[in-house]
Amino acid sequence: MAEPVEVLKPDTKFIADVIKLGGQSAKKCFQCGTCTVTCNVSYAQTHDESFARRLMLWTAWGLKDKALTDPAIWACYQCQDCSANCPRGAKPGDVIGALRALAIERYARPRFLARWFRDPVYLPLILAIPAVIILGLLLAFNVQVPSGPVVYKHFISEIYVEIAGVIVAGLAILATAYGMLRFTLETRLPQPGAVDGPGALAADLPAERELPATMVSTLSDVATHADFRACQTETTRTWGHLITMYGFPLLLIATALSFLYGLVGIDQQSRSLLDPMKIAGNLGGLLAFVGVCLLIYKRFQAKPAKWGVGTYYDWLLLWLIFANVFLGFATQFTRLAGGVNLAYWLYVAHLTVVFATFVYLPYGKLAHLYYRLAALAALRQGSKTGPASVFIVVIAGVAAVLAAAAVLVAVLAAVAWVAQALPMGLLALPESGISLNLYLPVASVSIPFGCWSPLASV
Amino acid sequence: MAANKVRLYICTGCGIGEALDAAALGAIAAQEYGAQVVTHPHLCGPEGGTLIREEREREGCQRLAIAACSGRVNAEVFTLDQTLVERINLREQVAWCHEPATEETQALATDQVRMGLVKLQKSDFPEPAPAVSQERVLVVGGGIAGLTAALEVANAGREVTLLEREPVLGGWLANFAYISPSTPPYREPQVPPLAEKVRAVQAHPRVQVLLGAEIEKAAGEPGAFAVTYKQNGNSAELGAAAIVLATGWEPYDATKLGHLGYGVSPNVITGVELEAELKNGGARLVNGRAPESVVFVQCAGSRDENHLPYCSSVCCQASLKQALLLRQQFPQANVFILHKDIRTPGQYEEFYKRVQEDPQIFFLRGEVASVAPDGGNLLVSATDTQLGRSVAVQADLVVLATGIVPRAAATLNLDYRQGPDVPSQHYCFADSNFICWPYETQRTGIFAAGCVREPQSVAGCIEDAAGAGLRAAQAVTLIKEGAALHPRVGDLYYPTFFLQRCTQCKRCTEECPFGALDEDAKGTPQLNANRCRRCGVCMGACPERLVSFKNYSIDIITSMIKAIEVPEDEDIQRILVLACENDAYPALDLAGARHSKYSAAVRTISLRCLGSTNVVFIADAVSRGIDGVLLLGCKYGDDYQCHFIKGSELASKRMDNVRETLGRLRVEPERVRLEQVTMDDWDRLPRLLDDFAAELADLGPNPYKGF
Spatial distance between the Cα atoms of A1 and A15, rounded to a whole number of angstroms: 30
Q: What's the pLDDT at A429? A: 40
pLDDT at site A449: 33
Residue B353 has pLDDT above 90, yes or no: yes
- When mean pLDDT is compared over A31-45, A389-403, B397-411, the highest value belongs to B397-411
Q: Determine the residue type at B367.
A: E
Calculate mean pLDDT across residues A375-390. 68
- The class (CATH top level) of B253-403 is alpha beta
Task: Inform me whether the C-beta atom of residue B370 falls under 8 Å from chain A C-beta atoms.
Answer: yes
- Say if the Cβ atoms of B353 and A28 lie within 8 Å: yes
Mean pLDDT of the B473-479 span: 95
CB contacts, 8 Å: B390 with chain A? 3, 5-6
| Residue A72 sits in the same domain as residue A172 | no
* Interface mutation vs chain B, best among A8, A86, A95, most B CBs within 10 Å: A8
Q: Which of A40, A27, A30, A18 is nearest to A84 (CA)?
A: A40
- Residues in chain A with CB shorter than 8 Å from the CB of B379 are 7
Segment A427-452, tens digit of pLDDT: 444 333 333 223 333 333 333 333 33
Q: pLDDT at position B574, please?
A: 96
Q: Does A167 share its domain with A90?
A: no
Read off the pLDDT band of B598 (50, 70, 90): very high
Nearest CA in chain B to A5: B391
Residue B387 has its nearest CB partner, among A8, A54, A62, at A54
Q: Is position A267 within any domain?
A: yes
Mean pLDDT of B585-598: 96
Question: What are the b/e assignments for A383-404, b being 16+ CB within 10 Å?
Answer: bebebebbebbbebbeebbeee
pLDDT grade, residue A377 (50/70/90)? confident
Cβ within 8 Å, pair A7-B370:
no
Set of chain B residues whose Cβ sits within 8 Å of the Cβ of A7: 379, 391-394
Give me the pLDDT at residue B1, please.
44
Specify the higher pLDDT residue, B560 or A164.
Answer: B560
Of A159-163, A339-343, B448-452, B519-523, which range is least confident? A159-163
Nearest to A5 among B342, B357, B381 (CB): B381
Q: Which residues of A touch B356 (CB under 8 A)?
A: 27-28, 30
Asked if A27 lies within 8 A of B356 by C-beta distance, the reply is: yes
Choose between B517 and A261: higher pLDDT.
B517
Residue B179, pLDDT score: 96
Indicate whether A257 belongs to any domain.
Answer: yes
**How high is the pLDDT of residue B192?**
95
Domain end among A54, A78, A107: A107
Dihedral Cα A418, A422, A427, A431, nearest 10 deg: 100
Question: Which residues of chain B does A62 touch, with a Cβ-Cβ cutoff of 8 Å?
Answer: 362
The residue among A62, A90, A107 that closes a domain is A107
Burial label for A188, CB within 10 Å (0-12, 13-18, 19+), is: middle
Give the pLDDT of residue B706.
Answer: 76
Look up the CATH architecture of domain B137-248+407-480: 3-Layer(bba) Sandwich (3.50)
Which residue spans of chain B are classified as CATH 3.40.50.960?
1-125
- Inform me whether the C-beta atom of residue B365 falls under 8 Å from chain A C-beta atoms: yes
A2 within some domain: no
- Co-location of A345 and A422 in the same domain: yes
Residues A141 and A39 in one domain: no
- Probe site for chain A from B356, B357, B368, B385 (most A CB atoms < 10 A): B356
Q: Which of A82, A107, A132 is the last residue of a domain?
A: A107
Q: How many CB pairs under 8 A join A and B?
A: 62
CATH code of the domain containing A22: 1.10.1060.10
Confidence (pLDDT) at A444: 35
Q: How far apart are CA B495 and CA B534, in angstroms?
A: 7
Q: Residue B369 is nearest to which of A1, A50, A53, comparing CB atoms?
A: A1
Q: For residue B253, what pLDDT is reported?
A: 97
| Partners of residue A19 in chain B, C-beta under 8 Å | 359
User: Is 60 exceeded by the pLDDT of residue B702?
Assistant: yes
Rounded to an integer, the average pLDDT of A166-176 is: 81
Residue numbers in B near A30 (CB within 8 A): 342, 356, 363
- B357-368 pLDDT, tens digit per residue, is 999 999 999 999
Would the CB atoms of A7 and B356 count as touching at under 8 Å? no
More reliable by pLDDT, A384 or B417 = B417
Domain-located, residue A458: no
Of all residues in chain B, the percent with pLDDT exceeding 70 is 100
The mean of the pLDDT values for chain A is 77
Task: Compute the average pLDDT of residues B284-305.
Answer: 95
- Residue A159 has a pLDDT of 61
pLDDT for A388: 62
Least confident of A358-367, B59-68, B355-364: A358-367
Q: Chain A within 8 Å of B336 (Cβ-Cβ)?
A: yes
Given an 8 Å threshold on Cβ–Cβ distance, is B357 in contact with A28?
A: yes
The count of domains in chain A is 2
Q: With respect to residue A390, please indicate whether it lies within any of the assigned structural domains.
A: yes
* DSSP assignment of B158-197: --EEEE-SSSSS-GGGGG-S-B---STT--S-B--TTHHH
Percentage of residues in chain A having pLDDT higher than 70: 70
Using the beta-carbon criterion (under 8 Å), do A15 and B370 form an inter-chain contact?
no
pLDDT digit string (tens) for B546-557? 999 999 999 999
Q: Are A206 and A79 part of one and the same domain?
A: no
Intervals of CATH 3.50.50.60 along chain B: 137-248+407-480, 253-403
Q: What DSSP assignment string belongs to A134-189?
A: HHHHHHHH--PPPPSS--HHHHS-HHHHHHHHHHHHHHHHHHHHHHHHHHHHH---
Nearest to B276 by CA among B347, B325, B234, B218: B325
Instruction: For residue B278, give the H/E element and its range.
Output: helix B271-279
For the cut 70, the answer to whether the pLDDT of residue A194 exceeds it is: no
Q: Which residues of A197-222 are buried (b: 16+ CB within 10 A; e: fewer)?
A: bbbbbeeeeebbbebeebbebbbebb
Does residue A70 carry a pLDDT above 60? yes
For residue B96, the model assigns a pLDDT of: 97
The string of DSSP letters for A363-421 reads TSGGGHHHHHHHHHHHHHHTTSSTHHHHHHHHHHHHHHHHHHHHHHHHHHHHHHHHHHH
Tell me which of A1, A53, A66, A70 to substitute to probe the interface with B (most B C-beta atoms closer than 10 Å): A1
Which CATH number does B1-125 carry? 3.40.50.960
Q: Would you say residue A32 lies in a domain?
A: yes
On the CB side of B517, how many CA atoms lie within 13 Å of its CA? 24
Using CA atoms, how far apart are residues A152 and A149, in angstroms rounded to an integer? 9
Largest CA distance in chain B: 99
Mean per-residue pLDDT of chain B:
94
pTM of the model: 0.87
Cβ–Cβ gap A195/B358 under 8 Å = no
State how beta strands B249-251 and B404-406 pair.
antiparallel
pLDDT number for residue A2: 47
Q: What is the mean pLDDT of residues A317-344?
A: 84
Contacts of B389 in chain A (CB under 8 A): 6, 196
Higher pLDDT, A256 or B326: B326
Q: Which domain holds residue A231?
A: 111-452
**Chain B nearest C-alpha distance from A362 (Å):** 29
Three-state DSSP class for B364? strand
Q: Is the pLDDT of residue B649 over 80?
A: yes
How many CB atoms lie under 10 A from the CB of residue A162?
17
Q: Which of A6-10, A423-427, B18-22, B219-223 has the lowest mean pLDDT?
A: A423-427
Residues A147 and A37 in one domain: no
Percent of chain B with pLDDT over 90: 89
Residue A77 and residue A174 share a domain: no
Q: Are residues A301 and A418 in the same domain?
A: yes
- A268-277, A365-374, B302-311, B644-653: range with lowest mean pLDDT: A268-277
Q: Is the same domain home to A102 and A115?
A: no
B387 touches chain A (CB under 8 A): yes
User: Which segment, A31-35, A158-162, B104-108, B703-707, is predicted with the most confidence on average?
Assistant: B104-108
* Of residues B359, B363, B365, nearest to A12 (C-beta): B359
Summarize pLDDT for A83-141 with one digit per residue, the tens. Answer: 989 999 999 999 999 999 999 999 998 899 999 998 899 999 989 988 888 788 777 76
Same-domain check for residues A97 and A136: no
Put residue B126 in one of left, alpha, beta given phi > 0 → left and psi -120 to 50 → alpha.
beta
User: Does B336 sit within 8 Å of A30, measured CB to CB?
Assistant: no
Cβ separation of A27 and B357 shorter than 8 Å?
yes
Contact A12 B360 (CB under 8 A): yes
pLDDT (mean) for A44-71: 87
Q: Are residues A99 and A124 in the same domain?
A: no
d(CA A272, CA A440): 8
Same domain flag for A33 and A123: no
pLDDT value at position A413? 67
Whether residue B359 and residue A31 make contact (CB cut-off 8 A), yes or no, is no
Does residue A3 belong to any structural domain of this protein?
Answer: no
Question: Residues B593, B520: contact at Cβ < 8 Å?
Answer: no
A→B interface, C-beta within 8 Å: 1, 3, 5-8, 10, 12, 15-16, 19, 27-28, 30-31, 50, 53-54, 57, 60-62, 88, 195-196
Band of residue A183 on the pLDDT scale cut at 50, 70, 90 = confident
Q: What's the fold here for domain B551-707? A: Rossmann fold (3.40.50)
Instruction: Supply the Cα-derived Rg of chain B in whole angstroms.
Output: 31
